[in-house]
């Protein structure tokens, strides 16, 4: 659909794991850096390394996504005694968004400042959208221009999609496969 201002696509399921560092027990960031060749951010942000994305989603708290199905088990071994690892592969419903009006549409639903100078590629926000707790990522630009991803607990997926459609409706919405 050529004139759609916003394109929505439900992301395919991917392995996801929560990593919560035990206070004063080892060096989780160091261990992640060694395993994935990239420094896990200490503040809200997203980096990619060796097929996984590591997002800081709280103090000493990371969400690792991507890679092979055994990701949670691999992290459990890697971080044994240093962090609590939880399998969250089935917990999140992730929607990808892009389009010429994507920032304007998202601004109607989330409460953070989406000006490109404040929220650019690699930024992460834990915020609210349509009365739901969500994680919002600004991804690196792709062939389609600016890209965002938004994650919500699986049971809320229908409500979030409804809110996204309502927010983006005025710009024209295209739902991609």
Partner 1 sequence: MPASGAESAGIEALWQVPDSQGKAFVDFQNDVTAPDVALAAREGFTAVEHLKRYTTLGMATDQGKTSNVVGLALMAAQTGRSIAQTGTTVFRPPYTPVAVGVFAGHHRGRDFKPTRLTPAHAWAKAQGAVFVEAGEWMRAAYFPQSGEADWQTSTNREVLTVRSACGFCDVTTLGKIDVQGPDAGKFLDFVYANAMAGLAVGRARYGLMLREDGLVFDDGTVARLSPTHFVITTTTANAGRVLRHMEFCRQVLRPDLCVCIEPVTDQWAQFAVAGPHARRVVASVVDPGTDIGNAAFPFMAAAEMPMLGGVAGRLFRISFSGEMAYEVAVPARHGEALAQALHAAGAVPYGLEALNVMRIEKGHPTGAELDGRTSAADLGMGKMLSTKKEFIGRAMAQRPALLDPQRPQLVGIKPVAGGVALQAGAHMVPLDGPADAAHDQGHVSSVAYSATLGHWIGLAFVAGGSRRIGERMRAVNPLQGREAEVEIVSKVFVDPEGSRLHG
Q: Name the site residues for partner 1 (rule: CB under 8 A).
A: 13, 18, 20-25, 81, 83-92, 108-109, 130-132, 153-160, 162-163, 166-167
**What letter would DSSP give residue 100?**
T
In the complex with partner 1, which residue's Cβ is closer, 123 or 135?
Answer: 135
Nearest approach in angstroms of CB 83 to partner 1 is 7
Which element (helix H / strand E) includes 43?
none
Q: What stretch of H or E contains 45? A: strand 45-49
- Closer CB to partner 1, 32 or 123, in the complex: 32
Residue 12 CB, shortest distance to partner 1, in Å, is 11
Q: Rounded to an integer, what distance in angstroms lies between the CA atom of residue 100 and that of residue 74?
A: 39
Of the two residues 138 and 160, which places its CB atom closer to partner 1 in the complex? Answer: 160
Q: Report how far residue 3's alpha carbon sits from residue 24's, in angstroms, rounded to the nearest whole number.
A: 53
Q: Residue 54 or residue 123: which is nearer to partner 1 going by CB?
A: 54
In this structure, the number of other CB atoms found within 10 A of the CB of residue 45 comes to 15
State the DSSP code for 170. G
Please, what is the minimum distance in Å from the beta carbon of residue 57 to partner 1? 11
Cα(37)–Cα(88) distance, integer angstroms: 22
Q: In this complex, which beta carbon is closest to partner 1, that of residue 118 or of residue 162?
A: 162
Minimum distance, C-beta of residue 70 to partner 1, in the bound complex (Å):
11
Least distance in Å: CB of 25 to partner 1? 6
What does the alpha-carbon distance between residue 127 and residue 148 come to, in Å, rounded to a whole number? 14
């Amino acid at each position: 659909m050529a004139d759609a201002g916003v394109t929505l696509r439900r992301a395919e399921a991917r392995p996801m794991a929560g990593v919560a560092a035990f206070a004063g027990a080892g060096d989780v960031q160091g261990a992640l850096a060694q395993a994935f060749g990239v420094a896990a951010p200490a503040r809200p942000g997203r980096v990619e390394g060796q097929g996984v994305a590591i997002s800081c989603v709280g103090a000493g708290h990371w969400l690792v996504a991507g890679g092979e199905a055994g990701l949670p088990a691999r992290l459990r071994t890697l971080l044994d005694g240093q962090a609590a690892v939880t399998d969250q592969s089935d917990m999140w419903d992730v929607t990808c968004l892009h389009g010429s009006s994507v920032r304007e549409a998202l601004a109607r639903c989330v409460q953070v400042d989406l000006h490109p100078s404040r929220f650019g590629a690699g930024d992460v926000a834990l915020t609210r959208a349509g009365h739901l707790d969500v994680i919002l990522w600004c991804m690196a630009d792709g062939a389609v221009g600016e890209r965002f991803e938004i994650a919500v607990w699986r049971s809320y997926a229908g409500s979030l999609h409804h809110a996204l459609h309502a927010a983006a409706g005025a710009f024209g919405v295209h739902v991609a496969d």
